[in-house]
Every structure is written in structure tokens, then in C-alpha cells.
Structure 1
Amino acid sequence: MKRALLIGLALLAAAGFAALGIWQVQRLAWKQDLIARVDARIHAAPAPVPPPAGWSGLGTQAFEYRRVRARGVFEHDRETLVQAVTERGAGFWVVTPLRTGQGIVLVNRGFVPGDRRSASTRTAGQVSGTVTVIGLMRASEPAGGFLRSNDPAADRWYSRDVAAIARTRGLGPVAPFFVDADASPNPGGYPLGGLTVVRFRNSHLVYALTWFALALLSAEAAALAWRSPVRR
């Protein structure tokens, strides 16, 4: 009776581990497809920013990292500084409303170090007149960063929360996404664009092999229990 129970448990564990392995293989295929689609988007020719009529129907997977082009006028007096840690060190993202002919789009113009936080230290970069911005569409980052919540009242921002920034700056309706500007240089060198990190963790193959190995060990345990002589 005990041997039968042991065999049953081992076979049940083997089936469960095998199912998890198959699931990870499916996740691997999904992740590889996602990486391929994103890679195609970031290297494609820039397309116009979607018009307001299509904003409500945008799904994150449909637009994330799409390369786009927007033309309008920056409203520098309403820029927002979002704390950031980049390959250039700690500093801030400069998020500025771009008023286009079809509405307002928030643009992450790029990175500035702490000593360039004040707009008065980078006046050359506060370009006026009509500009064309090329960059990647990004999904809004609501709430805040890791273990730190945005505090609009104190003007402390840890994530690029489009809706909250729009409310705080009194912008009215804005696009539900923001655009990460590319590396086109700004006068004076700041903000520094083109620092978007496009990286997807892909450990599904390792997980799949681990689950299949555990399934094999469990099946072997069941076989050993089956072959073991019954002791009275």
C-alpha cells in the first residue's frame, strides 16, 4: 500500500513538472516573438504619432517601442523632472509637453545630471519654435518607482506617469503614452536622449530544462519504487 502511494505521488509530481516545462517552452516562444517584434519596431522608419481618435484603443503590446515622429512646439515652462538612474549615473529625465496639431504628447527629451536640474543651467537646450521629435512610444508608468511613490504635491517624481503629470501641470487631455526621444543632439548637449533601455529577460529555456529534469527524476523515482521488492 505504501509503495503504491509512493509510486502515485512520484508519477503525479512527474506529470506536474512536465506540464510546467511545457508551459515554459510556450513562454519561450512567446518571448522570442516579442523580442523579434520589438527589434523590428525600433529599427523601422519613424511613423507619425497615432492621432487622438485612436488613442483610446491603443494596447500596450501594440505600440510599445514603436518608432514615431511628432512635430510641434515644446512647452518648457511645464516640464517635469523624473528621477532616474542611467548608464550616465543618477539624475533626471526631462519630460516636456509637445503641443502638436493633433494634441499634446509628453516627450521624455532625455537625461540631465543633478547639476543640470534647473532649466537655467541648460537654456541652450530649451529650443523654441516648431521642432520634430523622433523616438520610441512608451507606456505610461503609473504610481511610481520601486518602493517609492510619486508625490505630485511636492513635485517629486519617480516614474513617468502620464496622467498624473498631465493633471499636475494642468495640460488637459494628453496622449496616453509618452515618447522617448532618440539620440539627436540638443543644443548645449542637454537633455541627452537615446538612452532607452530595450532589454527583455529571457530565462525560459533554463526554467524549462529545470522542470523537465525534475520530471525525469520523479519518473525515475516511481520506476525504482516499482522495481523494489515488497518487504513483509
Structure 2
Amino acid sequence: MTRYLAPLLFGLIGAGILVALGLWQMQRLEWKQAVLAEIESRISGAPEPLPTMISPEEQRYQPVELDGEILPGEVRVLVSQKQIGAGYRIVSPFRTGDRLVLLDRGFTADAFKDASRRTGPAHVTGNLHWPDDRNSATPENDTKANIWFARDIGAMAETLGTEPLLVIARSVAPGDPNIDPLPVDTGGIPNDHLQYAITWFSLAVVWLIMTAYYIARLRKTGET
């Protein structure tokens, strides 16, 4: 019997550690769901005035409602859409009162990248955002060809002569027939904790099966 004790303990302890990791991921899942719910509530909240002092951490996703004027000029940020393919986010200067800010109007397909855009008076609802588009693999923006690979707010503001403040449109009225708004949402925020939990629990099951198999082999060997 003692010959089975060590592998049995090894199997139970290993499975216990894997189950604990799975339970930890379930706790992380609950935490992430609460964070996402808070972000969704923030996104859909009541509009607030444009801030005079910029604080990205406090003002991220702040809803705004603006009346003003879309001015000529644009930055094109390369993106792709499912079932459509490659295209561009169109970012234009927007004047509201005595403020001049960046307006991410949404997506236009590659076929319409050189189309004329509607400018002039507009009513905009949207959210402030400081997107994190750039990573170590992101190419440098080709500003001469007006092909941007990330929404670098400082560089876009310098190019278009605006404040470094970006509004992601949820709606623009009147709209442009070739631009579809890409509003802020939580779809791009990863939440893989359930998959991780399932992986750890599955490994615990496999660990126990392999332990039982090993003990069965030991018993068979002992009998022969």
C-alpha cells in the first residue's frame, strides 16, 4: 500500500494546484466582468462638457455631445473590418465653440479613401478616448502618403492643428454616406479568463487520470 502513497499524494497535490489556478482565473473573470460593466456604464453615461485640463485616466470613455463644424483636412488610419476588408479611420478637425479637437468620424472602405468628405456644421455624440494602437510591431506612420498605422494623438493634433483631444464619434448628424462610425466599446478589451480557467480545470482532470493510470500500472506490476 505504501508504494502507492507517493504517486497518490503527488497526483492529488498536483491536481489541487491546478484546480486552485482554475478557481483563481474564475475570480479574475468576475473582476474583469465588473470592470467591463463599469466601462460600458461610463461609455453610455450622460454627456459631459469637454475638459479644459486633460487627464486621460480620469476622462477615458467620457461621453460628450458637441455642436460645431467639421473642418477640411483628415488623417487616415489604416484598419480592417470583418466582411469588408481594409479601409481607414477618418480623423478630421472639429471646431466646437472656441475649441478645436480631433474627431474620429469612423470607417471608410479603401475604395472611398480619396472621396470628398462632407464638412460643415454637425452634431456629434461620442466619447473621449486615448487609444493604445501602437506596439513594438507597429510601423511608423507614413505622413507624406497620409497612411497612419496608429492613432498617435499628439502627432495627429500637430498635423491637423488641433488640441491633443480625440473624440470617437458614436453618431454624426448629418453624416457622410461613405463613413460608418466605429464607436468606443469593450469589444477590444481582452477577457480570456474563462478559457484559462477551463484549461486549468482540464489539466487537473488529465492529471488525475494519469495518476490513476500510473497507480493501476504499479498495481498490475506488483501482482505479476
Deviation larger for 90-99 or 180-189 = 180-189
Shift of 1:205: 2.7
Counting only pairs closer than 5 Å after superposition, residues 2-13 of structure 1 correspond to structure 2 as: 6-7=7-8, 9-13=10-14
> Does the 8 Å contact 2:63/2:126 carry over to 1?
yes
Deviation larger for 26-35 or 12-21 = 12-21
Distance (Å, rounded) in 1 between the aligned partners of 2:36 and 2:209: 37
> Does the 8 Å contact 2:108/2:180 carry over to 1?
yes
Unmatched 5+ residue regions in structure 2? none
Unmatched 5+ residue regions in structure 1? none
Shift of 1:181: 1.0
Alpha-carbon distance change, 137 to 170 in structure 1, aligned in 2, over 3 angstroms: closer
Question: What letter corresponds to residue 189 of structure 1 in structure 2?
Answer: P
Q: 1:137 aligns with which of 125, 128, 134?
A: 128
Deviation larger for 40-49 or 195-204 = 195-204
Shift of 1:25: 0.6
2:28 is the alignment partner of 1:27: yes
Shift of 1:81: 1.1
Q: 1:107 aligns with which of 91, 103, 110?
A: 103
Distance (Å, rounded) in 2 between the aligned partners of 1:13 and 1:160: 46
Counting only pairs closer than 5 Å after superposition, residues 160-175 of structure 1 correspond to structure 2 as: 160-167=151-158, 169=159, 171=161, 173-175=163-165
Question: What letter corresponds to residue 208 of structure 1 in structure 2?
Answer: A
Would you say how many aligned residue pairs link Structure 1 and Structure 2? 218
Counting only pairs closer than 5 Å after superposition, residues 146-157 of structure 1 correspond to structure 2 as: 148-157=139-148
2:181 is the alignment partner of 1:193: yes
Question: What letter corresponds to residue 127 of structure 1 in structure 2?
Answer: G
Q: 2:198 aligns with which of 204, 209, 220?
A: 209
Match of 2:120 in 1: 127
Q: 1:82 aligns with which of 44, 53, 77?
A: 77
TM-score (norm 2): 0.73
Match of 1:48 in 2: 49
- List per-residue Cα deviations over 1:96-152 (Å, max 9, x = no partner): 12244574431101222334323xx435x1115xx4321123223353796544233
TM-score (norm 1): 0.71
Structure 2 residue matching 1:22: 3-state secondary structure: helix
Identity of aligned residues (%): 28
C-alpha RMSD over aligned residues? 3.6
